[in-house]
Amino acid sequence: MAMATFTSFPHLPSILSKPTPLFCRRLSFICFSSSLSFPSKTLMPDASPPSSSRSTIPVTIPRVALQSAPPSAFRNSKADAKSKPKPKKESKGIEQGKFNTGKDVKEGIARSAPPKYSKAARRFYNEHIKAKSDKTDEGPRRLNKVLAAAGVASRRNSDELIFQGKVTVNGTVCTSPQTKVDISKDSIYVNGNRLPKRLPHKLYFAVNKPKGYICSCGEEPKSIISLFDEYLKGWHRKHQGIPKPRLYTVGRLDVATTGLIIVTNDGDFAQRLSHPSSQIPKEYIATINGVVNRRHLIAISEGTLIEGIKCVPDFVELLPTQGDASRPRLKIVVHEGRNHEVRELVKNAGLELSSLKRVRINRFRLPSDLGLGKFVQLKDSDMKLLEG
- Residues identified as active-site: 254
What amino acid occupies position 208? N
Length of the chain counted residue by residue: 388
Compute the distance between CA of residue 96 and CA of residue 111 in angstroms, rounded to an integer.
5
* Alpha-carbon 248 to chain mean position: 29
**Which residues lie across from 364 on neighbouring strands?**
361
C-alpha pair distances (Å), 32 with each of 5, 9, 64, 66: 11, 18, 6, 10
- State the DSSP string of 8-45: --S-HHHHHHS--HHHHHH-SSEEESS--B--SSPP--
Q: Are 222 and 214 in contact (CB under 8 A)?
A: yes
Q: What are the two backbone dihedrals, phi and then psi, of residue 135, each rounded to the nearest 5 degrees?
A: -90, 0
| Residue 269 CB neighbours (<10 A) | 17
C-alpha pair distances (Å), 204 with each of 129, 245, 251, 263, 379: 16, 11, 14, 6, 8
CB neighbour class for 40 (10 Å; exposed up to 12, middle 13-18, buried from 19)? exposed
Closest CA to 93 of 85, 103, 81: 103
